[in-house]
Structure 1
Amino acid sequence: MTDRHELAKIPKLELHLHLEGAAPPAFIRELAKRRHIDLSGLFDEQGQYRWQGFAGFLAAYEAACAALKTPQDYHDLTLIVLENAASHGVIYTETFLSPDFCGAGDIVAWRDFLAAIEAAAESAQSQSGIVMRAIVTCIRHNGPAQARKIAACAQETAGHFVTGFGMAGDETCFQPCEFSWSFDAAREAGLGLTVHAGEWAGPDAIRAALHDLRVSRIGHGVRAIEDRALVAHLAENGVVLETCPGSNVALGLYPRLRDHPVARLRDAGAKVTVSTDDPPFFRTDMTREYDGLAQSFGWGASDFAEIARTALDAAFTDAPTRAMLQKRLEEACPNQS
């Protein structure tokens, strides 16, 4: 199964998507122009995002966020992102939202931004059937004190739409234990927990995240492959890895997709899912991700059906939504359930 059109039609569940990181360059460029914000250095000659290395990517990401000022901006962005995801067969997406960018951590402002995003998600669901849930996300390099403010925002808005709490940002800053208060607060609010780990830091970072933050999912987590005992632990305990192969290759973590450990992790019994992370920054989408996996590892319909089931089981959502998504998967792939 290597035909791009057929791959696009496969129903997909994406658990690792940053909303601002999914903003099309043209959308950010137009907002910046309207507000007289000079972001000329952010784009290359083709109008795509320009960055170099992980630090450069983080800087480019935050520069793009400077153009996003109002709840209406986030409403419009959400509609565009979900429409694009649905065109690649995504039926469910969990999207990282950070109050750091939506109101600077102020709970009143956060509520306004969140309401706009949720309204757009409801519109997208009625138009294309895609379901969105939100993972409130603190930014690691902003420090533990700021993370507490973000956790408070998560606590105050936990519910049908806000279903998870996580942490992104520079993995080399601070230790997981310094954020335990924030994750404990989110856990008490009934939120699912995930954290970026094992991307730029090694296996010990994953172990620390599991021990100190007690998460059920790890964002990326691919460097677990360097520790056979850790992979066995992940498999035995059902820890789900939100792998983003295209992102890892674009950032230079692995030279080619065929060198990516996603297939080896899966073969070893670890639960893996597939996501795009920040698709326009990494020139990817869910169809490209699936095409790359098919080409590099020979994955076919049964493999992708298993990936979808793993994502559904790990999703931070309610039982009725899970049952509805399960039905959609069974209808689309009746022989793969």
Structure 2
Amino acid sequence: MNYSLLPKIELHLHLDCSLSYAVVSQLDQTITEKQYQQDFVAPAVCADLRDYLTRAVKGFSLMQTPAQLRLVTLDLLAQLDADHVIYAEIRFAPLLHTLQGLTPAQVVESVQAALQEGSLTYKVIPRLILCTLRHFTEEQSLETALLTKQFVGQGWVVGFDMAGDEAGYTVAAHKKAFSLIKESGIPFTVHAGEAAGPASMWEVIRELQPRRIGHGVRSIEDPALVAYLAEHRIHLEVCPTSNLQTNIFSSMKHHSLAALYQQGVSISLSTDARMITPVTLSSEYQQVVTAFSWGMSELLVCNLQALQYAFVDDKLRAGLQQRLLAAY
């Protein structure tokens, strides 16, 4: 089965962790493909999430000017188009791209301009989620929330996220930012249940009340948590191969996604980081189908659930749903 021909929804995708070698070599001609594989791409198994994230720094350094941000954004749109992703929520932390003098607002404007340009060439419908990071100060997190509020409603930015090292940092420094986001009626998602296990899930559920959680795959370690997620319809953005690389599961057959699905938890499939995790969504589908003997019906459900929780208006959701139902 050629899964690249199927239309797909992708909710969990980091812009600054998805640079292809083609664009990296454009941005820095001294980087060989061997160096790219060593420095930008994570091995099949890292020590942990923190080890995995060390590769992201390489991408950040090449995304500091409007021209660089344009190339990286267009590169990702080309990747998504080739993968037949019809709708993607692309996330990044604007504060990481100010090392050469851009303001965070100028960073967002540069990416938005590239999305506008790319929409003339590529069929994928992209939207942006702006990220705070676990290690950010309260001030930095609040600045990111205010930035999100500034740009929501302009057509591209649709939500807010907290990413980063969940094992090393609690949500304490980010409560004010999330209060602002919630008071403003802005959709949001939160990374949890990846490096820190069920405790981090309960923390974000208690403190932030998200409808969507990035990863969440270690919820399987707590039956009460799995039941809570199913009952309260909290959606998990699952990134299968990434979870193997961060040493959560030993193989795809041991991944929790099928058990979560069977127990009624709403899940979708995403790539996470197409550079650090060298996959496509089509290859993720193949891996999951092979590991769990899934068919088209399970893949369709995951896409419909992704669409249900996507940060889109009802008109766009209905149009995308028609395309999915016609293809599966």
Query: Would you say same fold, with TM above 0.5?
Result: yes
1:14 lines up with 2:10 in the alignment: yes
Q: Give the counterpart of 2:125 among 123, 131, 155.
A: 131
CA contact (8 A) 2:91 2:129 kept: yes
Alignment-derived partner of residue 295 in structure 1: 290
Q: CA deviation at 1:213?
A: 1.2
Q: CA deviation at 1:97?
A: 1.9
Q: CA deviation at 1:10?
A: 1.2
> Which consecutive residues of structure 1, in runs of 5 or more, have no partner in the other structure?
none
CA contact (8 A) 2:134 2:171 kept: no
CA distance in 2, matches of 1:57, 1:265: 24
CA distance in 2, matches of 1:321, 1:72: 30
Alignment-derived partner of residue 152 in structure 2: 158
Number of positions where the alignment pairs a residue of Structure 1 with one of Structure 2: 324
1:56 lines up with 2:48 in the alignment: no
Q: CA deviation at 1:186?
A: 1.5
Q: CA deviation at 1:279?
A: 1.6
Alignment-derived partner of residue 116 in structure 1: 110
The secondary structure found in structure 1 opposite 2:121 is helix
1:142 lines up with 2:136 in the alignment: yes
1:41-120 equivalent positions in 2, closer than 5 A:
43-44=36-37, 49=41, 52-53=46-47, 54-103=49-98, 109-120=103-114
What per-residue deviation string (whole Å, max 9, x for no partner) do you get for residues 46-103 of structure 1?
x863564333322221132112221221122111111111211210000112112233
The secondary structure found in structure 2 opposite 1:284 is coil
CA distance in 2, matches of 1:236, 1:15: 22
CA contact (8 A) 1:41 1:50 kept: no
CA distance in 1, matches of 2:63, 2:32: 12
Q: CA deviation at 1:222?
A: 0.4
* Structure-2 change in CA distance of 1:39 and 1:215 (3 Å): farther
CA contact (8 A) 1:100 1:150 kept: yes
Q: Give the counterpart of 1:216 among 211, 214, 228.
A: 211
CA contact (8 A) 1:139 1:147 kept: yes
CA distance in 1, matches of 2:226, 2:144: 31
CA distance in 1, matches of 2:35, 2:172: 35
* Structure-2 change in CA distance of 1:110 and 1:324 (3 Å): farther
CA contact (8 A) 1:272 1:307 kept: yes
Q: Give the counterpart of 2:24 among 24, 28, 44.
A: 28
CA distance in 2, matches of 1:11, 1:114: 27
CA contact (8 A) 2:40 2:59 kept: no
Q: CA deviation at 1:128?
A: 3.0
What per-residue deviation string (whole Å, max 9, x for no partner) do you get for residues 129-159 of structure 1?
2111111101112233321111121121112
What per-residue deviation string (whole Å, max 9, x for no partner) do you get for residues 235-294 of structure 1?
011100000001001222111101000000000000001000012212211011000011
CA distance in 2, matches of 1:182, 1:39: 40
Q: Partner amino acid for 2:126?
A: M
After TM superposition, the score normalised by the length of structure 1 is 0.89
Q: CA deviation at 1:109?
A: 2.2
After TM superposition, the score normalised by the length of structure 2 is 0.92
Q: Partner amino acid for 1:174?
A: Y
Q: Give the counterpart of 1:198 among 181, 193, 202.
A: 193
CA distance in 2, matches of 1:243, 1:127: 29
> Which consecutive residues of structure 2, in runs of 5 or more, have no partner in the other structure?
none
CA contact (8 A) 1:12 1:308 kept: yes
CA contact (8 A) 1:218 1:240 kept: yes
CA distance in 1, matches of 2:278, 2:67: 26
The secondary structure found in structure 1 opposite 2:311 is coil
* Structure-2 change in CA distance of 1:26 and 1:324 (3 Å): same
CA distance in 2, matches of 1:25, 1:188: 41
CA distance in 2, matches of 1:39, 1:298: 39
CA contact (8 A) 1:25 1:49 kept: no
CA distance in 2, matches of 1:42, 1:252: 23
Alignment-derived partner of residue 254 in structure 1: 249
Q: Partner amino acid for 1:49?
A: V
What per-residue deviation string (whole Å, max 9, x for no partner) do you get for residues 11-52 of structure 1?
110000000111113422432347xxx89996346x863564
CA contact (8 A) 1:246 1:257 kept: yes
Report % sequence identity: 31
Q: Give the counterpart of 2:301 among 306, 312, 330.
A: 306
The secondary structure found in structure 1 opposite 2:135 is helix
